[in-house]
Structure 1
């Protein structure tokens, strides 16, 4: 894969004990150093007006002033420093690069993956939250739509937390599909099954709040029977994967049971879904707070695109997952 990366993202200093810290990117780089076929590309930061295309200008102004004044705790979880403004614009710019590169034909071993930070999927139009300041995937999607490079974009979010910000930004839009598999009841406690979109966006929001303890077979069931068919029906030009790795069984802040091999399997599944509809595919880093498991997860995505065949799981999804998927299929008439 070709990874979008910038040292500017390391300047976002959240403090020694914060789980979302620069060591996350350093760990990913160390893990990828052991793999072949890895390429890195820097990218320009997103322009202010491109960020403001999905965020309220008053919020953008407030964040810039907050950072200029030295930063601090925006809320109990979300911390800014003097380097946060540039890092956040850079993370959004890397996501834009990934989306544009994919639509320009980068695929296969050159599939783009933006490994910027801070992450983005909790950032709503008018506020930062959940470690996120600008919604990187949303900025990228809006950019390619505004540039005329795509008519429809699907965002598939496999982070263990629901991407409330991404959902909210596009909830009443018909040109962006948002699909999420997440742990039920976990922060920010959004993403219920019956949240399916509004107005022109009715049917373009797909939520699968899986019960704690769900593992590889459950995630694959959700993709095969709900997320994949929803994307197929939507027929996007681009699929952006909001790739968090905190559903890993050894991640410190979730109770899910996805294995490293599970991320390879999910990657293979979503690649097939995108190929079947002729969509380009780009990846954007979200969460993942166990350094070893984060690095391993990203490496598994890379190795899948580099030609490694994932090992299929030898287990069945649990009955709760099957019932949930069936309910969603009925609700969305899939």
Structure 2
């Protein structure tokens, strides 16, 4: 894979006890040293107007001024230093680079993955929260829609971070040109993302939330992706598919109770790659959360390996979707008017990705 990365993003330092540490990127880079075919690209930072395309201008001015004055605690969770403003611009710039690379036809081993920070999916139109100041994915999606060179009419965003992507939902909730999906732990911060939050106005049924119960595992997530998520997005037929790739749903992440294995991220990657193939959508990944350094690094690494030719290990045939997860999936399908077979795990993962597809 190609990884968008900038040393500037390391200068955003919320403090020694903060989970969103620069060591997250260092751990990823250290693990990827062992892997074949890793390429790093430092993209240009975005400008003020790019950020203001999805955020209120007065809010963006406040963030820039806040950082220029030395930063501090914006809220109890979201902290800045003077260097944070540049890190914000580079993080959003790496995300924008990722979608540009995808739209220019980079697939297979050249699939782009932005590993900027601070993350972005909690940043709403007019406020920072949850470690996030600017919504990187939203900035990138908006640029794709506005750039006539790419002829993008519809963007799909799938957020598999364990926390609900409330900021991305907020920005696109009443729009039909972005379909936002979030699969997350029910009741976890920020407490949003209920099933009936499915869009309004022109954006009716273009937001899909799957609040999964604590203890949900690989098979449950695969059923959600292969069921309502794939069914809805195939019908939506996006030109671009962006993955808001947080890795804090891992069973060994310190701040969640979802039970995904490292292998789950290979399986989810495989399924979303297949979805992009079936809809002829460009595909890009943008880093969000993940706070256990070893499992974060392992999980990003296995996404890379999946594009480098490694076949994901499928769940055993006798593993079944839990009753609680099946209930969520059925309710989501009902909310969106979809017919799905909850018991059909594995049937959507049959797309072939031989050597020809991996040439990039």
TM superposition score category, shorter chain reference: over 0.9
Deviation at 1:47, TM superposition (A): 1.2
1:244 to 243, 246, 250: 246
Partner of 1:75: 75
Deviation at 1:63, TM superposition (A): 0.5
Partner of 1:321: 325
Aligned ranges 1:176-255 → 2 under 5 Å: 176-255=178-257
Q: What is the DSSP-based 3-state SS (H/G/I as helix, E as strand, rest coil) of the residue aligned with 1:113?
A: strand
Deviation at 1:317, TM superposition (A): 1.5
Q: Which runs of 4+ in 1 moved over 6 A?
A: none
Q: Distance in 2 between matches of 1:7 and 1:34?
A: 20
Deviation at 1:333, TM superposition (A): 1.2
Partner of 1:108: 108
**Structure 1 gaps, min length 5:** none
More deviation in 227-236 or 158-167? 227-236
More deviation in 155-164 or 309-318? 309-318
Q: Distance in 2 between matches of 1:82 and 1:312?
A: 46
Q: Distance in 1 between matches of 2:297 and 2:320?
A: 27
Partner of 1:151: 153
How many residue pairs match? The answer is 334
Q: Distance in 1 between matches of 2:116 and 2:256?
A: 22
The answer to whether 1:300 aligns with 2:302 is yes
Deviation at 1:157, TM superposition (A): 0.1
Q: Distance in 1 between matches of 2:27 and 2:88?
A: 19
Partner of 1:136: 136
1:153-185 CA distances to partner (integer Å, 9 max, x unpaired)? 000000000000000100000000000100000
Partner of 1:257: 259
Partner of 1:309: 311
Q: Distance in 2 between matches of 1:251 and 1:102?
A: 29
| TM-score (normalizing by structure 2) | 0.92
Deviation at 1:306, TM superposition (A): 0.6
| TM-score (normalizing by structure 1) | 0.99
Q: Distance in 1 between matches of 2:89 and 2:77?
A: 20
More deviation in 305-314 or 114-123? 305-314
Q: Distance in 1 between matches of 2:4 and 2:69?
A: 29
**Structure 2 gaps, min length 5:** 339-360
Partner of 1:331: 335
1:294-329 CA distances to partner (integer Å, 9 max, x unpaired)? 000100100001110000112211011111111111
